[in-house]
Amino acid sequence: MDLSKLLIPGAVRVVGQLTSKKRLFQELGELAAQAYGMSGATAIDGLQERESLGPTGVGHGIALPHARLEDLTQIRGVFIRLEKPLDYDSVDRQPVDLIFGLFAPKDSGVDHLKALALVSRTMRDQAVVSKLRANSDPSKIYAILTEARSTQAA
């Protein structure tokens, strides 16, 4: 599995500023709806439901919100880079600016966990994170994300 199987170029966005985690989830849901045709409302509800179990801010300015949804047939990702970091209640209490949202079918089981692990490993790579923060072009961000794991896997 690599990120190019989870993420398409149209699912990457750079956003100037958001005022709340709720607004971020709305943005992620809208992006998922536009990129993959899924229900934005269902995506938002799934993210909020999962977040109620505990924060998905993993530290170092990175958040990995995720949800399992009924109507999906495959795992899908969306990525947002914020130009102004947002308070997210992360484990290290630092605001986030790199958000990789993951949506999986309700019954995806271990595949969902594998996808989450792949995204997590990619977002822990300091070279990748630095490049993501240095770019505002969604197509370049997509290339950075999808090249990162495939070159390390080879």
Tell me if residue 66 falls in helix, strand or coil.
Answer: strand
Element (H, E) at 105: strand 96-105
Cα 131 to Cα 33: distance, rounded to the nearest angstrom: 27
Let me know: does 28 contact 7? Beta carbons within 8 Å.
no
Q: Which of 13, 21, 66, 112 is catalytic?
A: 66
Let me know: does 24 contact 80? Beta carbons within 8 Å.
yes
Q: Would you call 60 a catalytic residue per the annotation?
A: no
Let me know: does 85 contact 98? Beta carbons within 8 Å.
no
Element (H, E) at 97: strand 96-105
Amino acid at residue number 102: L
Would you please indicate which residues are annotated as catalytic (active-site) residues? 66
